[in-house]
Amino acid sequence: MIAVINYGAGNLYSISKALEGLGASVKITDSPSVLSSASAVVLPGVGAFDEAMAILRKTGLADAIKRSAEGGKPFLGICLGMQLLFSGSEEGKSKGLGIFKGTVRQFSRKLKVPHMGWNVVRQRNQSPLWKGLPGRRCWMYFAHSFYPIPADKEVIAATTDYGVKFASMVRRDNVLGTQFHPEKSGTYGLIFLKNFLELIHTKE
């Protein structure tokens, strides 16, 4: 069972339906105990950094997320769900989960912000996660105003250009974060999610 974390505002329906469509059983949950019994965890996200962190702390989900991620369980943070994995964000004052060291910064106001629409994701290294995806023109869907700056460049798994070259995917072992929305990126997005699900099976 894959736990999709519910912390209020986000659109959980699309990611759940996408995973179910790929054959996974999904549980939308705000309970830390469900996280510990899940085989993988997805932290989706839209909304504001501080508000999300406040809810995660209040519900005890923050600790449960850290335990899942550090315990080696396949973990995927999407969009704000990826940003929350970092130490902090310029968007707010709250500390993040600190699973990745680094901060989250706003795009230059010289560009149109939000960075909204389809952009190319460039893979930095070979990985089973990219199986079946084009290396050069891998279009994914983005909708965000902030982007992560990992302190450890080694965790950058893919980059995208929007005024700056930013980390559109990070990975350390079992913990993945994507700035793009695989659940909204059409066929390529579904292939990516399928590869994530296969990560769980190889784990088991």
Partner 1 sequence: MLAKRIIPCLDVKNGRVVKGIHFRNLRDAGDPVQNAAFYSKESADELVFLDITATIENRKTVVNMVRKTAARVFIPFAVGGGIRNIKDIGVLLRSGADKISINTAAIKDPLLIKRASRKFGSQCVVVAIDAKRITKVKSQIAKCKMSPLALNGQAEGISLPAQQKFKTLTRNTLSAPMNIGARPRPSAYWGGHLTPSSRWEVYVNGGNTPTGIDAVKWAKKAEKLGAGEILLTSMDRDGTLDGYDIPLTRAVSEAVNIPVIASGGVGNLKHLYDGIAKGKADAVLAASIFHYRKYSIRQAKQYLRKRGIPVRI
Residue ranges that bind partner 1, judged by CB under 8 A: 9-14, 17-18, 21, 46-48, 80, 109, 112-120, 137, 139, 141-145, 161-162, 181, 183-186, 189-190
Cβ nearer to partner 1, comparing 68 with 160:
160
Cβ nearer to partner 1, comparing 142 with 155:
142
Cβ nearer to partner 1, comparing 73 with 184:
184
Burial class (CB in 10 A: 0-12, 13-18, 19+), 46: middle
Cβ nearer to partner 1, comparing 66 with 122:
122
Amino acid identity, residue 156? I
> What long-range pairs does 110-114 form, CB within 8 A, spacing at least 24?
110/163, 111/162, 111/163, 113/145, 114/143, 114/144, 114/145
Q: d(Cα 196, Cα 203) in Å, to the nearest integer?
A: 11
Q: d(Cα 179, Cα 13) in Å, to the nearest integer?
A: 18
CB of 197 to partner 1, least distance (A): 15
Active centre residues (catalytic):
79, 181, 183
Residue (of 30, 79, 78) closest to 193 by Cα position: 78
Let me know: does 36 contact 1? Beta carbons within 8 Å. no
CB of 68 to partner 1, least distance (A): 24
